[in-house]
Structure 1
Amino acid sequence: MRQRRTMSKRYRKSGRTTRQRTLAQDLDFLLGDLCVGLGFCNRLSGADLLREHGTITDRLFANLVLTAEGMNPLYEDNWHQQISQKFRDRFGREAVSDSDDELE
């Protein structure tokens, strides 16, 4: 019998996509979303981001994505805002880390 994974209340309430098994996978899902939706396809991975930074904020995530695309985040305010917002939409807050209790 397959065990049914449940979403946190925060995800159910907002209608967001089901959480992945780990934060690294959740970040990979978001990176894939950025690739399909905005064309930001790069070699970043959730596991690498967590290993290098521990806690990922919406602003740091946007900076890393833009830098991986060869862009200067300081001059890409519109893209920075869009990517930061996608991060907040996905996680429901401005920062996440592997030690977060809400990751199920």
Structure 2
Amino acid sequence: MPVTVFENTTAESLSFLLEPDGERYEVPTLARIGVRYSFENGAVDRTFSDVGEKGIRFWCDAKKREVEVVHPTPFDLLLWDMCVRLGFCGGLVNGNPTHVKDLLPEVGVVTAEEFAKLAINAECDVQSPPDQQARWVALLSTAFIERMGASWVFAEALVQNFAQPFDGPPEG
């Protein structure tokens, strides 16, 4: 069964319209929506999509079809905020490409401030003036608290969602 997947990489939710029945879905930032479908023997696949700034329209007149939305984790959204909104995308540390994900502990508690300092270390920007670093720590700590919902989390909560719609076996 074919699966068509769309990902919302914008800062706003997108509207997804599945035609010809007019089914509507909301696709939040970083979410992926998939349509799995199958046509009867001999039927022609005439699916098409129309992607715009505010929405996606997907035409699929297959008799058998299903939709699945895969949502991002809070950590996915935090990483997106850090890079896209704040410019902390990682850097070179001792000549090696480094991202904050590379510096996180596997277990234990990670505070917003510890996370912020690790993000700055991943940028290899530890030589900046203390007042600038303090401003960055405050900015990154605020983003951490907003996205993770607390001033600290267990390290195990700092995971990304790489799942795609219909990763599991087809139903039925």
> After TM superposition, is the score higher than 0.5?
yes
- Determine which structure has the larger strand proportion and give its number: 2
Query: Does residue 77 in structure 1 map to residue 134 in structure 2?
Result: yes
Q: Structure 1: where are the runs of 5+ without partners?
A: 6-17, 21-25, 100-104
Contact 1:62 1:83 survives alignment (8 Å): yes
Query: Does residue 64 in structure 1 map to residue 118 in structure 2?
Result: yes
Corresponding position of 1:44? 100
Contact 2:111 2:151 survives alignment (8 Å): yes
Detail structure 1 runs of 4+ shifted over 3 Å in the superposition: 1-5
Structure 1 residue 61: deviation in Å?
Answer: 0.4
- Number of equivalenced pairs: 80
Structure (1 or 2) with the larger CA radius of gyration: 2
Q: Structure 2: where are the runs of 5+ without partners?
A: 1-65, 91-98, 158-172
State the identity as a percent.
30
Superimposed CA distance per residue, residues 14-37 of structure 1 (whole angstroms, 9 cap, x where no aligned partner) = xxxx662xxxxx324312221000
- The TM-score with structure 2 as length reference comes to 0.39
Query: Does residue 30 in structure 1 map to residue 55 in structure 2?
Result: no
1:3–1:36 distance in 2 versus 1, CA, 3 Å: closer
1:74–1:94 distance in 2 versus 1, CA, 3 Å: farther
- The TM-score with structure 1 as length reference comes to 0.60
Contact 1:27 1:45 survives alignment (8 Å): no
Q: Which structure ranks higher in relative contact order (CA pairs < 8 Å, sequence separation ≥ 6)?
A: 1
- Determine which structure has the larger helix proportion and give its number: 1
Q: What's the RMSD between the two structures over aligned residues?
A: 2.9
